[in-house]
Structure 1
């Protein structure tokens, strides 16, 4: 690698990860040169990039989906640990001493108001009974006080150990007769909209260290659904998608033992996993975005509607591509209408070859909810380096908020990305696309992290629904807020969408 001295130990470490020298050169170049911000030209809004889902259209799409026989799969990123969900609880354990201050004093001192809500409504949390019946809690209640004893029983490895569990296996919903995890809720959803001929197919991307926990839970879940057979696969984020960390001088960051520090490349690395699954259409939804049974029918209807919309547009695209193959004169005009009316692209098509190149791509239908202040990405019109506009999901880290025009565009944004996608990953001949061909490698992220008390810079690959799908054909459809129920903090489990009416 140019301008870089690598030891034999470095090369052995690099080789063991399966990463090639060209990849590292590109990563180091990105740290030095930086990653360009997205060039926003407008927010995507209703009738300007986002389709309003009217009742008649919704009904037709649901019917189309239910009458289809395509192979469906539910793809769930589930490798996240619950540690971040319990962040403020860990802080409390580190800093609170019940002999020296009250809970209220701690809340006022640290401004962690969610701790007040947590303990005020602690009996409504799905794991409450499990914690207070644990031997650890009973043994330490008198000496440590209720708050400390409860949190240690919940989080520590000596007791329930939920602090180091995968988020998908944390108790989410308490129905008295049973307590369901987010993992199980995805099985229930799959029974309702990702099933064909009594077989539901799911794929979870998980951390390798948690795979046995997931499999044990899976075997328990499958016994409860007698009328459905499940085909469940798991995959791990590939070591080859890890990225090199650097210091503030853009030199490789090294561990205390002198080894290079590689970090997971973020959810964008999962495009490799998505590329390896086999289905006609794939639903993508994060592990923590589930709800109690009372809202499930509405959730299912909107999933079916998104699926039906994908099937409808695929039919039109496939028919047009077949006509382009036959070089029918009207096919170019058909392609132009599809590009402009369905995918909102303004490119002027000149010939059959160009038309096929623009249409023969993976298709994603993305549900979008009204923005009520949640952090994260949103739908925007973006201009690329060639001056072409396209619809993209853009994260806040990709926007240069120092520029007034970009600030104004963001301020006018009306919708939010809940990660609610239906993907068509096969072409009009029934062949799988190589999804890696449609990634924009220039749409990654650089963030500041720390290790061993030292600051470092980390590189995330283009996000799964951002740069990894930048060159897909895209449709945004408005869906209601009820479809978006993530659990980012433990107190989110106290929201109505996670509290059964039992």
Structure 2
């Protein structure tokens, strides 16, 4: 199985966390127990599986298409889950070190795990390499190393991490430039696999300029795009890559302390999506997506991975694809 091959440690332990619906928590607990019994001896691994649910406090009020707050038959306001961005709190509570994030709808049969496992390891290797560089620069900057260390740290931020350096920084004092480097290096890191765009519905990697004028690498969902803006729609149509939700995240700082991930989200990047309630279309306000606005201020690297690593099941018809039918060959 994919997790056993990628994150099983030297002691034979494999730690997995899943977020599930509170309505189905008991069923998931039973399924996990059965899966452990079926696979641990076969794989020579010991699974440590934890489950969490999206906090009810993160639910948002639904609305009719005319933006009137939605009410049920008893006149009570209807609340809906606030989207996967609400799971930032769950991720934060893990206080993990290196965490692989993946959507449950991108799962291939075990026979096709080869490329997925290989590229998961590549992404993890990229993360560790960047982490080592960040920690080296942070130690040098905190030691008070001179001009050469500051110049090297800023070059790394720009060339590797894609961080825009404001023009005024070039004329700034050594202290100002060091402070800028420290502030922008001391962040969570994510390495995101991106597949060539083959027309799947969903988001992709873009350069985004925020309200403060900073240009950063971001994953943009279709729901975040202004459909009335021709320029935005043209950029979306011309996108070369697609986000399969294949991330490796470094959640600890250079002192090995867990980041408070909430500090690095963009609270203004909420968006409205179309959902349904009791057979009628409604609007739902969603928190900044977990890998969208939820990670807006992270250090972000995008790595192209082959299409073979992406085996989505968005609708029941996707199960008819050869990659999901063991007898299709």
With normalisation by structure 1, the TM-score equals 0.60
Aligned residue among 186, 195, 213 for 2:8: 195
Q: How far apart are 1:264 and its partner, in Å? A: 0.5
CA displacement, residues 212-235 of structure 1 (integer Å, 9 cap, x when unaligned): 222222222222322211111000
Report if the CA contact (8 A) 1:391-1:474 is conserved: yes
Q: How far apart are 1:405 and its partner, in Å? A: 2.2
Report if the CA contact (8 A) 1:438-1:468 is conserved: yes
Bigger Rg, structure 1 or 2: 1
Is residue 305 of structure 2 the alignment partner of residue 479 of structure 1? yes
Aligned residue among 91, 109, 112 for 1:295: 112
Aligned residue among 71, 77, 85 for 1:254: 71
Is residue 19 of structure 2 the alignment partner of residue 205 of structure 1? yes
- Flag the 1:369–1:249 CA change in 2: closer, same or farther, 3 A: closer
Match runs of 1:116-131 below 5 Å: none
Match for residue 151 of structure 2?
A: 333
- Flag the 1:260–1:495 CA change in 2: closer, same or farther, 3 A: same
- Flag the 1:419–1:334 CA change in 2: closer, same or farther, 3 A: same
Q: How far apart are 1:344 and its partner, in Å? A: 1.1
Report if the CA contact (8 A) 1:198-1:228 is conserved: yes
Report if the CA contact (8 A) 1:293-1:500 is conserved: no
Is residue 91 of structure 2 the alignment partner of residue 277 of structure 1? no
- Flag the 1:212–1:353 CA change in 2: closer, same or farther, 3 A: same
Give RMSD over aligned pairs: 1.7
- Alignment size in residue pairs: 315
- Flag the 1:352–1:264 CA change in 2: closer, same or farther, 3 A: same
- Flag the 1:213–1:442 CA change in 2: closer, same or farther, 3 A: same
SS at structure 2 position matched to 1:476: strand
Is residue 181 of structure 2 the alignment partner of residue 355 of structure 1? yes
CA displacement, residues 184-206 of structure 1 (integer Å, 9 cap, x when unaligned): xxxx2111011112000000101
SS at structure 2 position matched to 1:225: helix
Runs of at least 5 residues in structure 1 that lack an aligned partner in the other structure? 1-187
- Flag the 1:314–1:430 CA change in 2: closer, same or farther, 3 A: same
Runs of at least 5 residues in structure 2 that lack an aligned partner in the other structure? 170-175
CA distance in 1, matches of 2:153, 2:184: 9
Q: How far apart are 1:494 and its partner, in Å? A: 2.2
SS at structure 1 position matched to 2:40: coil
Aligned residue among 317, 325, 329 for 1:499: 325
Match runs of 1:51-62 below 5 Å: none
CA distance in 2, matches of 1:481, 1:253: 41
Match for residue 51 of structure 2?
A: 234
Report if the CA contact (8 A) 2:40-2:47 is conserved: no
CA distance in 1, matches of 2:265, 2:25: 28
CA distance in 1, matches of 2:180, 2:223: 33
Match for residue 12 of structure 1?
A: none
Match for residue 77 of structure 1?
A: none
With normalisation by structure 2, the TM-score equals 0.91
